């Protein structure tokens, strides 16, 4: 049975026989592009599109505010006020760096303060875990 992270490829061999091949799409997505999409959602104040980037039970550890949350509803409560009141230079990209276990983003927060976020993704390319803290850059 196919899983949501699987894709099917129908191959035609030179002998005109059809062959069905299955391959796993796990980790075959662009994590850096997903982080840029996340930043674009923040810049456009699009809460629903932002939430769609997260896995259903995604977790956020925010050292900036000393909070830990998980799930779509809690993420909505966390991001809603931050997307509605922003500084002029909010959500500016400072640096984006791929890591073995995800992507690190240095950016300007909704307040225009430097923040570093570590993004971790699930097999479907959704954000499963984030850790943010003030950046020392």
Strand order in the sheet with 54-62: 67-70, 54-62, 127-134, 114-121, 102-108, 93-99
Measured at the alpha carbon of residue 39, what is the angle toward residues 92 and 67, in degrees to the nearest 5? Answer: 95
Domains of the chain, start order = 29-134 (3.10.450.50)
Question: How would residue 136 be classed by pLDDT, with cut points 50, 70 and 90?
Answer: confident
Span 108-131, average pLDDT: 95
Q: What is the mean pLDDT of the chain?
A: 85
Q: Report pTM.
A: 0.78
> What's the pLDDT tens digit per position in 32-79?
999 999 999 999 999 999 999 999 999 999 999 999 999 999 999 999
């Amino acid at each position: 049975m196919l899983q949501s992270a699987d894709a099917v490829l129908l191959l035609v061999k030179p002998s005109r026989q059809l062959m069905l091949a299955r391959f796993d799409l796990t980790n075959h997505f662009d994590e850096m592009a997903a982080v840029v999409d996340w930043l674009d959602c923040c810049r456009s104040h699009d809460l629903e599109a932002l939430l769609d980037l997260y896995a259903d039970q995604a977790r956020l550890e925010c050292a900036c505010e000393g909070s830990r949350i998980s799930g779509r509803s809690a993420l909505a409560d966390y991001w809603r006020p931050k997307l509605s009141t922003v500084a002029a230079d909010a959500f500016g990209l400072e640096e984006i760096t791929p890591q073995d276990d995800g992507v690190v983003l240095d950016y300007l927060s909704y307040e225009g303060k430097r923040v570093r976020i570590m993004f971790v993704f699930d097999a479907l390319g959704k954000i499963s875990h984030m850790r943010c803290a003030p950046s020392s850059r």
